[in-house]
Chain A
Amino acid sequence: MTKPPDMLAPLDAAPPLAEEAPVRAMHPAREMAGMFFRNYPAVFGLVLLLAILAFTFVGPLYHPVDPFEMVWAPFSRPGEEGYLFGTDYLGRDILAAMMAGGQVSLAIGLAAAVISLVIGVTVGAFAGYYGGWVEEALMRFTEFFQVLPTLLFSMVIVALFGASLLTVTFAIGVVSWTAVARVTRSEFLRIRELEYVAAARSGSAKDGYLIFRVILPNALPPIVVQANLMVGSAILFEAALSFLGLSDPNVMSWGQVIGSNRPYILDAGFAVAIPGFAIFLTVLAISLIGDGLNDALNPKLRQR
């Protein structure tokens, strides 16, 4: 006699009658998309992100002002003299800086996330696939990076190698891959034991093929969610470095606006609050999308 299932089970759904009810015939991708778009916060996040992208990339066409040019007296309040967000301590137009800076912040966020994704997925995949001493060594390596306070470490990198767009991006990417590596590893450990992988392993399939063609595609859902969050935290990271004055002074970014106006927060809080709010909205949008992706890609939740 088999163990009776959960006593509430028959309440939730009528017993499945495989031949008669092809309920789950929908294509999985469409089903996930449907799941995502029924998640209102996620859709809100998507719309918000699109609006921010439009603001930063299309906005300059309608507001062609050089963000480094002094246009008016310093610290004019938002709205004064037609400057929507006011001017900063050098009398530069904050609206223009927000548009130009958004492009840079988003680009750095994306690029740094890609770097940390490449490192993290590689480390995690090899650790999870090979196990044994390879896993041991790689996970110790990961732990080592977890012991270093990330911001301090990237501050040091930027300080040593100079504050350019490239070093900042690299410094962020190289310190923030550990979470990706852990997620990838645990997914690989799980999938490695599944029957079809075990079968392929016992055959003649090459390791590289198995890692990148067989296991990785199946491990993607949590990695996608993590990657999405990485973009958000990389944007925050860049902002923190800029705030501390460790960013490329020749490139406008949201963090740059905050960092350069920081000494004057009591006179012109708006010059700091506005870019801060933009970062907040962007990361909020990204994490709402991330939550939606998580729900749509997580098969355990989908069955509820």
Chain B
Amino acid sequence: MPLARILLTRIGYGILLLLAVLVLNFTLISIAPGDIADSIAGDMGGADASVIAEIRARYGLDQPFLVQLWRYMAGVFRFDLGYSYFFETPVTALVLERLPATLLLVVSAQVLAIGLGVLLGVMAARNPNGALNTLVTFLSLFGFAAPVFWTGILLIIAFVSIFPIFPVGGMRDVTVEGGWLAQALDIAHHLFLPMITLASIYIALYSRLARAAMQEVLGADYVRTARAKGVPERTVLYKHALRNALGPVVTVAGLQFASVISGAVVVEAVFSWPGLGTLALQSILARDTPTIMGILFFSSLVVIVFNILTDIVLRMVDPRIKGG
């Protein structure tokens, strides 16, 4: 099957998944006790039944479930995810404003984790008795067992009181002036600690995976063939072996995007990073359901897009993968 058709199938399937996410969220919200009208009324410090009924009518909450669902879905196709009464902004605008910060955190942490993890894994696989191998084992235990907020808090404590070179909160410093480069450097400066914190979980995972895959691949017959051709060891490692070992790492990394976004929610809370996670927390505490749904929708969309991208990368790495 040509790549274009596989991609189209994937995208179509992704849209179906998104619709399923919408239906699930909508159902959950409608079976949950209380609704927006109650929250708004609560915000106003209590209201009588007629006011609540009026709010219900304004938000369409007096309609049957299916009608509400239909209206919502129809809105989504026009990129209209409703209106947040709490932030007094359309949800789409609200989410899109916060999305780049989360994407920056998630993607940079993934790139760092994959890069460093693979590098550590390769070097550890090369020398099974070396210190690096022990380091990978310890890292992988630490990465799985350490709660991500704990890692973040330890880093904050360390960088505030011992080694104050990185900011521990927010995404930019309003006092920084200058062109885009100065701004970008400022963001990178703020990004460092959250990125390290989030990546710590995945560096562990990927280094262990890469080590296992490399150990297997290094024993493969084609690696012996490459050596018998006189290929220098470095090229054997990074050209012949690594490309074969990357498959499992890329597959797992692709499956991790949903989990990385989850981790980002916590990391954002630790470092006051102004992304979707902090927005989610705010809107959950405010019972701002349109915003919560919008966040779930957009984060699922991000996961689906990354899954499709992973699929493409996997096909570039391994020509044996065919079909959808």
Contacts and interface: CB of A to CB of B under 8 A. Distances in A.
Asked if chains A and B are in direct contact (CB within 8 A), the reply is yes
Interface stretch (A154-162, A185-193, A199-207): A154-162
Interface stretch (B25-33, B74-82, B118-126): B25-33
B149 A243 contact: yes
Given A156-B28, A288-B141, A149 B150 contact: no
Contacts of B284: 155-156, 159, 246
A287 B156 contact: no
B150 A265 contact: no
Interface string A21-58: 00000000000000000000000000000000000000
Given A147-B258, A151-B262, A156-B296, A279 B28 contact: no
B11 interface: no
A276 B149 contact: yes
B21 A147 contact: yes
A243 B29 CA distance: 24
Interface in A278-292: 279-284, 287-288
A147 B259 contact: no
B259 A149 contact: yes
B147 A280 contact: yes
Contacts of A155: 265, 280-281, 284
Majority-rule SS of A interface residues:
helix
B131 interface: no
B12 to A, nearest CB: 13
Contacts of A97: none
B56 interface: no
Contacts of A269: 153, 157
Contact of B150 (A143, A148, A152, A280): A280
Contact of A284 (B21, B141, B303): B141
A137 interface: no
A209 interface: no
Given A244-B281, A266-B157, A279 B150 contact: yes
A232 interface: yes
Interface in B1-52: 17, 20-21, 25, 28-29, 32-33
Contacts of B307: 147
B148 interface: yes
A136 to B, nearest CB: 12
Given A152-B261, A159-B292, A245-B285, A144 B21 contact: yes
A276 B262 contact: no
A148 B265 contact: no
Contacts of A157: 28
A72 B148 CA distance: 30
Nearest to B259: A150
A281 B29 CA distance: 37
Nearest to A272: B153
Contacts of A239: 147, 149
A139 to B, nearest CB: 12
Interface in A114-166: 143-144, 146-153, 155-157, 159-162
Which of A149, A151, A273 has most chain B Cβ within 10 Å?
A149
Contacts of B280: 152, 155
A273 B144 CA distance: 17
A155 B307 CA distance: 23
A277 B150 contact: yes
Contacts of A245: 281, 285
A266 B158 CA distance: 10
Contacts of B287: 159
A236 interface: yes
7 contacts: A148-B258, A148-B300, A149-B299, A239-B147, A244-B281, A265-B157, A279-B147
Given A146-B258, A148-B296, A266-B156, 15 more contacts: A147-B17, A149-B300, A151-B262, A153-B296, A245-B285, A246-B284, A262-B149, A262-B153, A272-B153, A276-B150, A279-B145, A280-B147, A283-B144, A287-B144, A288-B141
Nearest 5 pairs of A and B residues by beta carbon: A276-B150, A151-B262, A160-B32, A283-B145, A284-B145
